[in-house]
């Protein structure tokens, strides 16, 4: 397992601008507001999931958040657990008219207290009760949720929860098969999504477009699926005509944004949930026609994966960096030079996997 131990809370020393909260009193007040929100709508709607062997229960007040929260994790739906590992209470103010308790409606970034930790942003507020393994998730205005949060819902919660269980999130795409696969990493716009989506029409399977969970077991590293969503640059849409039916218009698009796809709807049988990690690959677009791989140093791969991950995850700290560092040091590292002929990408990756 990874370095951190179960029950360990985020490192508050690295967190600025905290607002203290007292014991479970505030958490209970938030949950009461959730129940009031459910009463004012169509009641509580429960969704059950399984993530890396742990049960997750989402309790939504009404159905306004269903199209925002559930599509990207639809492939993780599982039978109801008697005792969920984590329970998340979700509501929005727009459809319910219920806000947070007045004590937190102030300008702040982070809140902390006994066995609790939370973040308040422009788009959401989440509060994790580590003792009870429950989470409050509140959205002021569901109409203003950005596309990237629909593509990767509850990312902050999953980060905290997975790290507590000994797993690590990474900003990476992932493709492969049952025998093994690769993590495709790099900053946003480097071609991770393009390479991963290019494999949908090949013998390779899709695991991730943007975020993946990994862990170490008996000195081997395994990747686990998290989201079945994908984002595709508008300029590349014409090169993926088979994906047209999967494109989603939940969010009003700006010129610079990508199309959002939920692959579980049309590619359910192409989503793989776990594989051993055989290599770390840094993706990069080129002006050439052909795609090819070249070996790179561990330092180069770490420089591509760690900073982009740390920037994407709230309250990321040295534990996240060390977990990523150990993974990268344990695997061979390559750079994928992505050419204009995207059909070559699956074969290039498949040939690499056969050699490893």
Domains of the chain in start order, with CATH, are 12-164 (3.40.449), 169-355 (3.40.50)
Question: Quick check: 79 and 48 in contact, CB under 8 A?
Answer: yes
Mean pLDDT (whole number) for 170-199: 92
Question: Quick check: 334 and 294 in contact, CB under 8 A?
Answer: yes
Kind and range of the H or E element at 2? none
Count how many Cα atoms sit within 13 Å of the Cα of residue 50 in the half-sphere of its side chain: 9
Q: Is the pLDDT of residue 128 over 50?
A: yes
Q: What is the pLDDT of residues 296-330, one digit of tens each?
A: 999 999 999 999 999 999 889 999 999 999 999 99
Beta 134-139 vs 229-233: how paired, if at all? Answer: unpaired
- Rounded to whole angstroms, the Cα distance separating 354 from 278 reads 10
Could you count the other beta carbons within 10 Å of the beta carbon of residue 105? 12
Residue 17 burial by Cβ neighbours in a 10 Å radius (0-12, 13-18, 19+): exposed
- Rounded to whole angstroms, the Cα distance separating 174 from 193 reads 9
Q: What is the pLDDT of residue 15?
A: 35
Q: What is the pLDDT of residue 101?
A: 86
Kind and range of the H or E element at 86? strand 86-92
Q: What is the pLDDT of residues 258-275, one digit of tens each?
A: 888 999 989 999 999 999
Q: What is the pLDDT of residues 17-65, one digit of tens each?
A: 444 444 457 889 899 999 999 999 999 999 999 999 999 999 999 999 9
Tokens linked to 320: 């996240």
Q: pLDDT band for 289, please (50, 70, 90 cuts).
A: confident
Q: What is the mean pLDDT of the chain?
A: 87
CA geometry: angle 89, 94, 100, nearest 5 deg: 50
pTM here is 0.88
Which of 317, 352, 299, 310 lies closest to 183, judged by CA? 352
Tokens 């997975």 correspond to 162
Question: Quick check: 190 and 203 in contact, CB under 8 A?
Answer: no
Higher pLDDT, 86 or 6: 86
Higher pLDDT, 289 or 115: 289
- In order of 40, 66, 128, 228, the CA distances from 63 in angstroms are 12, 5, 23, 21
């Amino acid at each position: 397992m990874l370095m951190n131990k179960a029950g360990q809370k985020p490192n508050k020393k690295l967190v600025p601008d905290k607002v203290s909260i007292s014991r479970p009193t505030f958490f209970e007040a938030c949950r009461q507001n959730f129940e009031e929100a459910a009463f004012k709508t169509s009641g509580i709607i429960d969704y059950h999931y399984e993530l890396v062997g742990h049960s997750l229960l989402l309790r939504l007040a009404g159905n306004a958040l269903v199209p925002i929260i559930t599509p990207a994790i639809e492939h993780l739906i599982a039978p109801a657990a008697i005792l969920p590992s984590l329970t998340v209470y979700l509501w929005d103010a727009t459809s319910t008219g219920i806000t947070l308790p007045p004590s937190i409606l102030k300008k702040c970034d982070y809140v902390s207290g006994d066995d609790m930790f939370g973040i308040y942003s422009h788009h959401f507020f989440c509060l994790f009760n580590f003792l009870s393994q429950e989470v409050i998730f509140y959205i002021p205005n569901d109409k203003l949720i950005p596309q990237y949060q629909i593509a990767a819902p509850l990312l902050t919660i999953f980060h905290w929860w997975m790290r507590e269980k000994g797993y690590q999130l990474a900003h990476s795409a992932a493709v492969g098969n049952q025998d093994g696969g690769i993590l495709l990493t790099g900053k946003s716009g480097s071609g991770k999504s393009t390479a991963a989506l290019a494999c949908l029409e090949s013998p390779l399977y899709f695991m991730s477009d943007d975020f993946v969970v990994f862990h170490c077991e008996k000195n081997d590293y395994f990747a686990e699926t998290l989201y079945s969503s994908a984002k595709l640059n508008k300029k590349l849409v014409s090169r993926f005509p088979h994906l047209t039916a999967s494109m989603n218009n939940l969010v009003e698009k700006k010129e610079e944004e990508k199309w959002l796809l939920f692959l579980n709807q049309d590619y359910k049988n192409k989503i793989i949930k776990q594989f051993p990690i055989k290599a770390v690959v840094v993706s990069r677009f080129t002006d050439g026609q052909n795609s090819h791989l070249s070996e790179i140093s561990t330092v180069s791969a770490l420089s591509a994966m760690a900073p982009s991950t740390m920037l994407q995850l709230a309250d990321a700290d040295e534990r996240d960096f060390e977990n990523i560092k150990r993974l990268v040091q344990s695997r061979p590292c390559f750079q994928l030079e992505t050419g204009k002929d995207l059909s070559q990408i699956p074969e290039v990756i498949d040939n690499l996997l056969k050699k490893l």
